[in-house]
Structure 1
């Protein structure tokens, strides 16, 4: 399994069990993913402590309904999915996001559309 799939699965499992946080390896791509999740409001915060990246998950209401309802890997090591700037899709009318790997770094579909830049579709989150 690749690093991104492993990270998304860890977050998905922790979210399913309603854990308050999840620990993932402090790799550069994981830090960028955590930064995007924080900026878009899908997680509370993240910290790099003792060679671990800790993501604090976000829930709503007294029943602790997860904010993250779906994390899905799109491009895999065996099947890469590339799109140009004109083909960048919207997810649920802008409620969800796609994360792309571009020549300017990891960014959301909204950011990539603003600067008219395509790239590899990494995952979708809503």
Structure 2
């Protein structure tokens, strides 16, 4: 196969009806290329068959990157769930505190009434 030189500066026009098709085996080696693929690639069919498909290598890299992103997303999701749980706990504690404070205020009012009642009876 030819040396795969960098493609920068190389432009290939692709016809509007071009159908670029290739197939690979499970290891990413090219098993079939159609005439449009051969023409656009710049290689002969015999040079392409059996070679590692560059798109397969790229797909493997993309799949690995997506797997990493998925793992990071799952970790972020778990942390969000944890934060949500803690927020719910703090909200419940706040509600309990508000309820306790209301009860304390009622008890303080009742106690103040009893104190007034005590002093009014005591002075009489």
Q: TM-score, normalised by structure 2?
A: 0.22
Identify, as 1 or 2, the structure richer in strand: 1
* Greater relative contact order (Cα < 8 A, sep 6+): 1
Identify, as 1 or 2, the structure richer in helix: 2
Higher-Rg structure is 2
